[in-house]
A = this chain, B = another copy of it.
Amino acid sequence: MDFTKRQKEIIDVSIRLISKGGIQELTIKNISKAIDVSEPAIYRHFDSKIDILLAILSYFEELTGDISEKSFNQEISSLSRIEDFFERLMDEFTENPSMAKVIFSEEIFQNDSRLSEKVVAIMKGHHRKILEVVKEGRENNEIRKDIPEKHITMFIMGAFRLLITRWRLSDFGFDLKEEGKELWNSMKILLSLSQSSVNYQKRIEDYLL
């Protein structure tokens, strides 16, 4: 992305400010105080506050785009690819918890139509991506087929989002990566085709004896 150093700095402290106290905390004054310049100086780097928020979204868009590219272009099973995606995302959030607070707070961006549209676009992009991989997973007999694809995506994303929400409401009071791994394990049991059939296959064999 073509952000200057100062712009990156502003994006960074803005995320931190929002994470600290919501958008109400994101004021030009607070930003300028945080990077120790005068208020008008901010306007050298962004035309308006909305543009800063737009930049935050672009930054997140790029970040998740990069991660998604890395995760989904691997030659591994579908579920492993999704797992990898969320793992990397949680790595990112663990290192930069503010991000987690901002990213799923859609209402921060509801002030302006340009913002809300971008939020929806990003969200749809993620859904599409996951949906795609889920589809593949079904074709390869990896993922169960008895419920609609879109519900599978909703289970995955919903649980993941709720985990993040709890993490930030608990003031980052638990190990996100650890809990995420456990959650994913359960998710795999729930969604994989093999898992369940294996269990019952065994029992059948017992019977057959």
Contacts and interface: CB of A to CB of B under 8 A. Distances in A.
Given A101-B107, A162-B157, A147 B22 contact: no
Contacts of A157: 158, 162
A119 B186 CA distance: 27
A162 B161 contact: yes
Interface in A21-41: 21-24
A139 to B, nearest CB: 19
Contacts of A185: 147
Interface in A109-154: 110-111, 116, 119-120, 123, 146-148, 151, 154
A189 B199 CA distance: 17
A37 B171 CA distance: 40
A200 interface: yes
Q: By CB atoms of chain B within 10 A, which of A119, A123, A151, A157 has the most?
A: A151
A185 to B, nearest CB: 8
Contacts of A110: 21-22
Interface residues on A, range: 35 or more
A187 B190 CA distance: 10
29 contacts: A22-B107, A22-B111, A24-B24, A106-B165, A116-B169, A119-B169, A120-B169, A147-B185, A147-B186, A147-B190, A148-B182, A151-B159, A151-B182, A154-B159, A154-B163, A155-B158, A157-B158, A158-B159, A158-B160, A158-B163, A161-B161, A161-B162, A161-B165, A190-B191, A196-B196, A200-B200, A203-B204, A204-B204, A207-B207
Interface of A: 21-24, 101, 105-108, 110-111, 116, 119-120, 123, 146-148, 151, 154-155, 157-163, 165, 169, 182-183, 185-187, 189-191, 196-197, 199-200, 203-204, 207-208
